[in-house]
Structures are given as C-alpha cells and as structure tokens.
Structure 1
Amino acid sequence: MTNQLTSDALGDDYRTWLAELKQRVERARQRAAMSVNRELVTLYWQIGRDILERQQRQGWGARVVDQLARDLKAAFPDMRGFSPRNLKYMRALALAWPEPEFVQQPAAQLPWFHLCTLLDKVKEPAARDWYASKSLEHGWSRSVLAMQIETRAHARTGSAITNFGERLPPPQSDLAREALKDPYIFDFLNLTEDAQERDIEQALTTHITRFLLELGAGFAFVGRQYRLDVGGDEFFVDLLFYHLKLRCYVVVELKTTQFRPEYAGQLNFYLSAIDAQVKAPEDHPTIGLLLCKEKNRLVAEYALRGVAKPMGVAEYQLLREVPASFESTLPSIHEIEAELRHDLKNDS
C-alpha cells in the first residue's frame, strides 16, 4: 500500500492549476518550435541570397550549388537540408523574396516545406504573399495549402456578388465580403452536373469537414433543413451556419438552376425569420448566401439592390474546371484517336 496522491484526491483547485500549467507548457513548446523554424528559414534565405550574389558577382554557374552541397554536408554531417535540391530551393526563396524585410513577413514564419510548395506552385508574387499570409493565419497544413492553391482560392475569395456595402457597417461589410467566394468548388462530392438539390445537400453534410474547409475559416455548422415556424407555417432553411469571426448566422440556400430574382426574396424572408427567432441580441445581422449553378451577374446585382437583408450570390461547381494554362497541353480528341489508331496498327 502506498500513500501516493492522485489528482482526484487533491481536488478541483489542483486540477484547474494542472490544466493551466499544461496549456502554458504547450504554448511554450509551440513558441520554441516557431522560433527554431524562423531561425532555420532565415538561415536558408541568407544562404540563398549568398548563392545569388556570388553567382552574379563571380560568374559561377549552376555547378557551384553541387559543390557547395558536398562541402556543407562534409562540414555538418549530422545536419539535414544541404542537398543540391534544397540549396536550389534556398536560391529560389531569396529570388522570390529579395528584400531584407522578408524575415518580418508571414512567409518567414512558415515551415520550410510550405515555402517549397509556394515556390513550386505559385509564380505571381502577390498571390504567393496571399497564400503565405492565409496559411499562417489559419494554420493550414501543407496538403491543405496545396489544395487551396490548386483551386485558386486567392482568385475566388471575396468575389461573390453582394449588397454588404449597403446593408452592413464598414468593418462588418468588409469582413463579410472576404468570407464569401465565387465560385465554390464541390468536386470532392463525386456528383454529376444533373444532381438534385437534396442530393447535394446530403453530400455536403456527409463531407462536412471538407465542405467547411471550402467555405473558409470561421464557419460552424448548425444544421441542414433547419426548421422555422412562422405563424404556424413550416419553412426549412437548406443549410445554417454560424460564423465565429463575423459573430452572425449564415443562411446558405442551394439552387441547381441559374439565379432568379425571386430567390433573393425567398432568402430575404429566411434571414428575417432567423433574425427574429434565432439570433441573440449580441449577434450581428444574419447574412445569406445563394449558391446557384450559374448566374447572370447584372441580374444578380439588380436583384440584390432591392432586398433589405445582407446577402451574396455565387456559383458552385461540382467538377473543377481545367485551368487555361493546362488546356494547351491537353491532347485534342483527334490527336487521341490518331494515337489509338497508331497503337492498333503497331499491335497488328
């Protein structure tokens, strides 16, 4: 028999104190890891800058990178990261962010392989900075960062047609506008273009984690076919969310047709009902999002001018479009048929 104390025996005060200590230790560990990463990335940027400067000043070619890799590996045999490939990434890093202020920018705080992903996949400096900033802000993993780049999140964010500027005060309207995209990409549902609204709703809730990732940071799922009782009549909201940063409910209505002006009236009614029956006094006004298969931009703009509630209109895609830059590299139908005929001829 031992006299060892337990957490339960020490009571609630001890358990509360222990929980606080655990949080403090975890925060310290995270800060230490971030500090180490920042020092490493800064070192890599400095090495890349030196390679660039000496190649330009001394006229050294690409082979100096291979020699430098061998010499650094010999000097630091226990240290990883000095392969020729990694040194070329360091050079690319210094070329992408040439100013000394790089060490103060969001990119300098990202893990090294996040930066390699940015250097591989994003060529426009402004877009690269956007992804670096959002990745740091939202804590994207490397795979999530790659997915956001592949779906061109930077070009879609803030692109929905809205009336937020007229219906919300400036700070809230700007945040709300940035919370919406156009178009939304639902290729993870594995549905065809003729899928019905209920099929899409069901698939979105089944894949809610991926759906929330596509919606963006801050969305919390409340329910599907959310029931409203208005004067004894029942109405059902397709999808209801709460946005933690905007501090408001978000009603999402899904339409498998082109946008029609009457859809805005229906959504306006739902927003009024949510504001009256669900919204707490401290919540901001509920906003709406109409997701349509397609839209006439001018028709949508006109329709939103006449509604009292804040809402936006965006398209959704069940299949991701092939980027224009890839289209020229894809073979035509005639080329594929010619290749098949050639193969069959050789086989015979």
Structure 2
Amino acid sequence: MLVHHISLQTLERSGRAISNFERTLPPETSDLAREIVKDPYNFEFLGVGGEAIERDIEKALVDHVTEFLVELGVGFAYVGRQVSLEVGGEDFFIDLLFYHLKLRCYVVIELKAGKFKPEHLGQLNFYLAAVDGEMAHPEDAPTIGILLCQSRNQVVAEYSLRGSTQPLGVAEYQLRASLPSVERLQQELSGPE
C-alpha cells in the first residue's frame, strides 16, 4: 500500500487544492480539511477517457468505490450517489455524498466533466446549505464542498472562492488518456488506399 501511495504521489497532491478553508472553518478544523483535498485526483483506475461525460465518470466512481475511497484518503465514508434532497418542495440531487469520520461532517462532491466555471460554486453552496439544514445533526461540523473538474483557471477559482462563507475546495481530476477506437486503429493500419 505504501508503494502504491508513493507511486501515485499521494503526499505531494494532498492539501494542494484551492480552498477557502482557513477563512471559513475554525483553525483546529481548517488544517485537516485542507489536507483531505488533493489536487489533482487520479482517476485513471476508472478506465474512462477524457471525453467521458459527467454521468459516466460518476457511475464509474461508484462502480470502483473501493479504489475511489483509497484515492480520497483516510476517514471518508460513502453515503450515496445522486442523493435526493427536497428543499421547498423541489427535488435536488447531490452527485456524491460522503461523511468524514475525523472531521465529523458531510462532504459533498460535485463533479464537472469540463472546465471550472464560477457558477458551479453557486450550485455547490446551495447543496452545502441544504445538507446542513436538512441532513446534518447539530453536533456535526459544517459540511465541506469539493468541486472536481477536468481543468480550472487558478485565478478564476481563487476569485470565485473569495466571496463564499461556506468551506469549499476546487480540485482537478485526471482520467487516463483515451485510446483510439477500433475503427480508427483499422484505418491507421490499412494505410492510404
């Protein structure tokens, strides 16, 4: 297991995500919260390429939940996928919901198949408020949100986090490089006709 973490550079990736945890969480919690968010996350074990859509990535993460929990790190407990929240008579669905045993809080993971956009944080902010209001117990620490996207502009992400009072992190993920299709390989092998 140690060799596995060394080869994946787990230590080097821990705590590298852009977040506002220092500003939104108590000092005793913010350091641990920062350490649980990696950047980038390595999702090569999913077997999907960079062209995959959000639902395919989400399904693959659940299908490989053991590997996903190892990639997330110690303390995460899987709660569910597409967890339904009813707020004001409307239904909303959280991509992935976890509970962190050491931090004693829910962790909402919102997955985006493309580049980071500031409006993604608005959706995640809503989910955090709804989980705190509808699911969390009074003894739970504030819910943490992690937005996982294929790419991001660091400056845009930092500015987007400045105005939020909720504990949020933005990190990238890596998928394996796509393999060419069978048809494409056959075309390449047959050469010009």
TM-score, normalising length: structure 2: 0.90
The structural deviation recorded for 1:319 is 2.1
> What residue number does 2:154 align with?
297
The structural deviation recorded for 1:178 is 0.6
Q: 2 CA distance for matches of 1:231 and 1:294?
A: 33
> What residue number does 1:212 align with?
69
The structural deviation recorded for 1:216 is 0.2
Quick check: 1:280 aligned with 2:176? no
Give runs of aligned pairs for residues 84-99 of structure 1, distance below 5 A.
none
Q: Considering only CA atoms, is the larger Rg found in Structure 1 or Structure 2?
A: 1
Quick check: 1:173 aligned with 2:30? yes
Structure 1: runs of 5 or more not aligned: 1-143, 321-348
Q: 2 CA distance for matches of 1:231 and 1:265?
A: 17
Q: 1:247 aligns with which of 104, 116, 124?
A: 104
> What residue number does 1:199 align with?
56
Quick check: 1:154 aligned with 2:11? yes
More helix by share: 1
Q: 2 CA distance for matches of 1:245 and 1:191?
A: 31
Contact 1:250 1:286 in 2 (8 A): yes
The structural deviation recorded for 1:294 is 0.3
Q: 1 CA distance for matches of 2:168 and 2:176?
A: 25
Q: What CA RMSD, in Å, does the superposition of the two structures yield over aligned residues? A: 0.8
Contact 1:187 1:319 in 2 (8 A): yes
Give the % identical residues.
60
Q: Which amino acid in 1 is paired with 2:63?
A: T
Q: Deviations over 1:187-210 (max 9, x none)?
A: 101101101111111111111000
Give runs of aligned pairs for residues 1-348 of structure 1, distance below 5 A.
144-319=1-176
Contact 1:218 1:243 in 2 (8 A): yes
Q: Which amino acid in 1 is paired with 2:68?
A: F
Q: Which amino acid in 2 is paired with 1:319?
A: R
Q: Which amino acid in 2 is paired with 1:255?
A: K
Q: 1 CA distance for matches of 2:85 and 2:4?
A: 36
Q: 2 CA distance for matches of 1:281 and 1:150?
A: 40
Q: Which amino acid in 2 is paired with 1:173?
A: S
Number of aligned residue pairs: 177
> What residue number does 2:188 align with?
none
Q: Which amino acid in 1 is paired with 2:113?
A: T
Q: Deviations over 1:286-322 (max 9, x none)?
A: 00000000000010000001112101000000128xx
Runs of 4+ in structure 1 over 2 Å off: none
Q: 2 CA distance for matches of 1:199 and 1:257?
A: 13
Q: 2 CA distance for matches of 1:162 and 1:226?
A: 24
> What residue number does 2:187 align with?
none
Look up the SS of the partner of 1:220 in the other structure.
strand
Q: 1 CA distance for matches of 2:152 and 2:4?
A: 26
More strand by share: 2
Q: 1 CA distance for matches of 2:87 and 2:165?
A: 19
